[in-house]
A and B are shown apart, each in its own frame.
Chain A
Amino acid sequence: MSEAVSLAPELLYQKSFVIRGNDYDHGGEAAAQVKAILKQLGIAPELIRRLSIANFEAEMNAIMYAYEARLELSVFSNAVRVVISDHGPGIPDIGWALEEGNSTATPEMRARGFGAGLGLPNIKRNSDEFAIESTVGTGTTLRYAVLLNDGLGS
């Protein structure tokens, strides 16, 4: 191999999943599929664990609040990134939603074991990078990532 020059991170793999609002029956399936792909790729178990928790929370948020969402998985040479963007009501006060314990969950969502106000904080806590943008009446986009730190393909 020739001398490797440190370049911008390279996109190695990409796949996206459609999530439908209110589809509790298939809740967690996109997260489970992403987990299976990452295992197949040999990503470190600890990173898969953290990213799966984030994906599950994000997927359930989309199911509970949005009309439809798209989860896009991108495996880069230095990170695994997820973008999950939805068409939905949006979040009026992101700062408030990011505080633990704050929730707008309905009784139905609570009956299903959600609504403790830990969703977004959990996604943030389990990812190495996290960003959220939301427009009320249009939708929300979450971007988060776990970083691969073992210096790939050296």
Chain B
Amino acid sequence: MPGRTHSIVIDKEKCIACVACSQVCPTRAIRVRDRLAHVKDELCIDCGSCIPACRYEAVRAMTSSPADLQRFKYTVAIPSLTLFGQFGREVEPAQVLHALRRIGFDATYDFSWMCEMVAGATDAYLSECAGPWPKISVTCPAVVRLVQIRYPDLLAHLVPLETPRELAAKVHRRRLAAEKHLPPEEIGIFFVTPCSAIVNSIVSPVGLDASHLDGAFAISELYGPLLKALKEAPVADTVEAVSARGLRWAMAGGEISGMRNANSMTVRGVKDVTYVFDHIEAGRFQSVDFIETYICPDGCVSGQLTVAGRYEAQQAVHHHAHRLGAQSTVKEEKVRTLLREHFFDFEAEIRARPVRPLAQDLRQAVALTKEKDALVARLPRKDCGACGAPTCETFAEDVLRGESKLADCVFVRIEELEQTLSGKGGDA
């Protein structure tokens, strides 16, 4: 497998092998073995649920570090719109952009207008495409991975339009290279991300051969320096035209709020996303045109790499969007032309990554499934997690795949011990 396919890193020094991360993982991708948590590549969707679950700060996302900026002649920060909601209502987007330039980036680029463009393109796409319905947004990379892994039948439902952050990086790199007379590869474009899913969408992109972004800094890592810069130089040196419609993409419901097509809905949180996807697979929700979905409970403002509480952040984003007003910065005809010119298209196909069956041959798979059922029946079914697998069922599968031993279950071990002891007692 080329490169890694998830962005979660476990710190060997800090991990105490307590299974808290493995218990919260919605796709059951984490196992604790040999006194260390391991993430299974083929199951991880980079939702980042494990990051706040760890009380020992042993789980983190593979974000960029200041040293990465040194590799480039010219560096640009593209902040997630969520960043604008991190400093309360009083700090305006222009001030945040100014602060980003003060902490070490040569330039900043606000991509809220690109969000508005993609919303327009989605409208145009929905009016021209033939189904299957409903169409599903690709904004949240964790949702895309969930579809690849668990809902391959829904791949045809994904809106095949590139995300605003990638389009913005692509367009801006081209423009900067011309303006600054720099080779494109000497320009470093970094996203300031609220979540681990976006980090991974850069490391191992989907729908793209290579990301147009060079890395991502976590909001939580830049927060301290930004706060300091905001105190030192609170007044922005330029006026920035931030799109209110784009800004709302920081919150669940934001994407559809700026769209013409109102036959849509927002689904938040991994539990609800799973529920709705199960139902779409079963043929429900066909009368809905578009579904905006987020793995995080309130959209990007509730990403694990943010600092502000999600309600405080929402309040701030609402405030800024309201102040900016509802005027559109994007021309509809221009968007339709760009859509026809394939500007928004994916550069690569999104492929299914289905979890492998227990065996390729049906008879063999049936035999293993029966073995698994028997194994589960023998296990305590307390889902205590002490064996390192999150549930007795996943443990049984691991045993069948040869990845765990039955004796890793403490209950089985106690049982065996008791039998041995009583056996000995009988002899005496």
Residues in A lying within 8 Å of B, measured CB to CB: 12-13, 15, 28, 31-32, 35, 37, 39-43, 45, 49, 52-53, 55-57, 75, 77, 113, 122, 148, 152-153
Closest chain-B Cβ to A85's Cβ sits at a distance in Å of 20
How many positions in chain B have a CB within 8 Å of any CB in the partner chain? 23
Is B365 in contact with chain A by the CB < 8 A criterion? yes
Task: Report A-chain residues with C-beta under 8 Å of the C-beta of B355.
Answer: 39
Which are the 10 A-B pairs with shortest beta-carbon distances?
Answer: A42-B357, A56-B282, A12-B366, A41-B365, A53-B283, A13-B366, A42-B365, A49-B153, A40-B358, A32-B278
Are B152 and A153 closer than 8 Å at their CB atoms? no
Q: Are A153 and B361 in contact (CB under 8 A)?
A: yes
Query: What residues of B have a CB within 8 angstroms of the CB of A32 in the complex?
Result: 278
Q: Is the CB of B366 within 8 A of A28?
A: no
A53 to B355, CA, bound (A): 21
Nearest opposing residue in chain A for B287, CB measure: A113
19 extra interchain contacts, Cβ-Cβ under 8 A, other than A28-B278, A45-B354, A113-B285? A13-B370, A28-B279, A28-B282, A40-B365, A40-B369, A41-B358, A41-B365, A41-B366, A41-B369, A42-B358, A42-B359, A42-B360, A42-B362, A49-B153, A49-B281, A53-B282, A56-B282, A56-B283, A77-B363
Q: Provide the residues of chain A in CB contact with B285, threshold 8 Å.
A: 113
Which residues does chain A contribute within 8 Å of B360, judged by CB atoms?
Answer: 42
Q: How far is the CA of A12 from the CA of B361 in the complex (A)?
A: 12
**A77: B residues at CB distance < 8 A:** 362-363
Task: Report the Cα distance A134→B283, complex, angstroms.
Answer: 25
Tell whether, in the assembled complex, residue A45 and residue B282 are in contact, meaning their CB atoms are under 8 Å apart: no
8 contacts between A and B (CB under 8 A): A12-B362, A32-B278, A41-B357, A41-B358, A52-B281, A52-B282, A53-B281, A153-B363
Asked whether, in the complex, the Cβ of B357 is within 8 Å of the Cβ of A40, the reply is yes
- Complex Cα distance, B369 from A32, in Å, reads 16
Chain A residues contacting B284 (CB-CB under 8 Å) are 56, 113
Which residues of chain B have a CB within 8 Å of any CB of chain A?
Answer: 152-153, 278-279, 281-285, 354-355, 357-363, 365-366, 369-370, 373
Give CA–CA (A55, B359) in the complex, Å: 24
In the complex, A39→B153 CA distance in Å? 12
- Could you tell me the distance between the alpha carbons of A13 and B362 in the complex, rounded to whole angstroms? 10
B279: A residues at CB distance < 8 A: 28, 56
Q: Which single residue of chain B is at the shortest CB-CB distance from A11?
A: B366
For the complex formed, measure the closest distance between the CB of A72 and the CB atoms of chain B, giving whole angstroms.
15
Q: From known contacts A45-B152, A113-B284, A153-B361, infer whether A39 and B278 are also in contact, taking CB-CB under 8 Å.
A: no
| Nearest residue, chain B, Cβ from A32 | B278
Contacts of A41 in B (CB 8 A): 357-358, 362, 365-366, 369
Q: What residues of A have a CB within 8 angstroms of the CB of B152 in the complex?
A: 45
B153 / chain A contacts, CB cutoff of 8 Å? 45, 49
| Distance in Å: Cβ of B19 to nearest Cβ of chain A | 23
* Contacting pair A12 B281 (CB below 8 A): no
